[in-house]
């Protein structure tokens, strides 16, 4: 279970620039409550890299590195 989600430098600015902060916060709360299906939290291939992704909106995804029960979001990407 994910207990904390950190944001790498620059990601917060990207969220504000694309007006995604509120949607990002909703996705984070869902993940912390264990509602992973709602945000499509999944491990990216190759699995050995430990990179995870989750949905912010239908268009945007967050990519994060997982260490234990912590995700560190390092980039927001346009999924389309």
Q: What is the pLDDT of residues 27-48, one digit of tens each?
A: 999 999 999 888 999 999 999 8
Number of domains in the chain: 1
Domain of residue 28: give its range.
4-78
pLDDT band at 6 (very low <50, low <70, confident <90, very high): very high
The CATH number linked to 41 is 3.30.2310.20
Q: What is the pTM of this model?
A: 0.90
Q: What is the residue whose two structure tokens read 């990179």?
A: 51
């Amino acid at each position: 279970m994910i207990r904390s989600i950190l944001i790498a430098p620059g990601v917060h600015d990207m969220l504000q620039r694309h007006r995604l902060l509120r949607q990002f916060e909703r996705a984070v709360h869902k993940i912390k409550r264990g509602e992973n299906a709602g945000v499509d939290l999944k491990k990216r291939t190759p699995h050995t890299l430990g990179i995870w992704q989750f949905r912010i909106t239908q268009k945007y995804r967050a990519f994060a590195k997982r260490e234990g029960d912590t995700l560190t979001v390092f980039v927001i990407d346009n999924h389309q």
